[in-house]
Amino acid sequence: MQGSRQPVSGGSVRWAVDLRRVFSLNEQLEEAARQTEHRNELLIREGRLKKEMTELETRNRLYEQVYDLIQPKLEQIETLSAGDDAEFLGNLPRISLLTAYIKRRCNMELLSGGGTLPLAELAAALTESAGCMQLCGVETAVNVRGEDELPAAVIISAYEHVHALAEEALETLKAFLVRISAESADSLLEVRIMLKVEDLSWDFSSPVYGGSEAQPRIRVSKEGGDLVVLLRFPKGGAA
């Protein structure tokens, strides 16, 4: 109870106010506020958990996709590693080339979420492959002109094609010289590969990479005794 007094003419008026109902209402409001705050915290935690679950599912799908991409190469490495020590040493350059492919191809897939990849990523991947080819005495060089971000499908397709060509030619390959250019007026990307090779039966008309809008125009020619392969990715995606 709370007592109050009000002066009036000739005296004063006193009265009492029962504040228990007010206190009870205040307690109820405080409890409601606590429950609301608790529910909000639970909603925030639930939202955070859903986001983490979505990110985990996305990562798992991506890892499964990457594994499907590289599984054939892993099987090749397993086959090449199954012989005795002499066979293994003889297969080591090809195993190294396949290992470099797996590393770089996974990296491209993980970095391509934004839809583009830097030209430097292609240059780095081909430079690493070139280093592996040097293990069996192949003369190599990788020259790059341009610093563009290009559609990821174009970068990946170029890498797939160049790697497939190197893998096919490796047995009799003497030189593998690559020039990459993103400065053409009518092409997104041009990759010129000059090979000194004794024998090559690669089917240049067979698609290597499945990205439908990333199929290059392929031109094969001879310069002296060298084989020259030009991969050209037109602007607009027209093959």
- Across the range 210-232, mean pLDDT stands at 84
CATH of domain 92-237: 3.30.565.10
Closest-CA residue to 80 (of 94, 68, 66): 94
Number of H helices, E strands in the chain: 4, 9
Break the chain into its structural domains and give their ranges: 18-80, 92-237
DSSP tag of 35: H
Counting Cα atoms < 13 Å in the Cβ hemisphere of 165 gives: 29
Give the confidence band of 32 by pLDDT, cuts at 50, 70, 90.
Answer: confident
Q: Are strands 2-8 and 116-118 parallel, antiparallel or unpaired?
A: unpaired
> SS in 3 state form for 109-168?
HHHHHHCEEEHHHHHHHHHHHHHHHHHHCCEEEEEEECCCEEEHHHHHHHHHHHHHHHHH
> Are the beta carbons of 183 and 192 closer than 8 angstroms?
no
- Across the range 200-227, mean pLDDT stands at 78
Q: Tell me: the pLDDT tens digits for 151-196?
A: 999 999 999 999 999 998 998 999 999 999 987 777 889 999 999 9
Radius of gyration of the chain from its Cα atoms, rounded to whole angstroms: 34
pTM above 0.85, yes or no: no
Q: Residue 207 has what pLDDT?
A: 67
* CB atoms closer than 10 angstroms to residue 119: 21
Q: Tell me: the pLDDT tens digits for 58-97?
A: 677 777 877 787 888 889 999 999 888 888 888 888 999 9
Q: Tell me: the pLDDT tens digits for 112-123?
A: 887 899 999 999
Packing angle, helices 85-111 and 152-169, rounded to 10? 170
Packing angle, helices 152-169 and 119-133, rounded to 10? 10
Give 235's contacts (C-beta < 8 A, 6+ positions apart): 186, 187, 188
Beta bridge partners of 153: none
Give the confidence band of 201 by pLDDT, cuts at 50, 70, 90.
Answer: confident
